[in-house]
Amino acid sequence: MIPSFQTGRVPLAVKTGVPLLVAIAVALLGALVYLELVAILTTNT
């Protein structure tokens, strides 16, 4: 038998935590790329 905590809280924390980390990483990368593009455009003009 599988204990209740393995099927309850731990997968829930993984399901909510991993997408949060991925979303934060994607948001940071997007912000860096956006800032780089803005800097390039502003310096070229």
**For 3-21, how does the pLDDT look when each residue is reduced to its tens digit (9 = 90+)?**
555 555 667 777 888 889 9
- Determine the Cα–Cα distance for residues 4 and 25; give it in Å rounded to an integer: 32
Residue 31 has a pLDDT of: 98
Q: What is the pTM of this model?
A: 0.56
Residue 27 and residue 3: Cα distance in Å, rounded?
Answer: 36
Give the pLDDT score at 14: 78
Cα of 30 vs its chain's centroid, Å: 11
Tell me what percent of the residues of the chain surpass a pLDDT of 90: 51
Q: How many helices (H) and strands (E) does the chain have?
A: 2, 0
Residues in the chain: 45
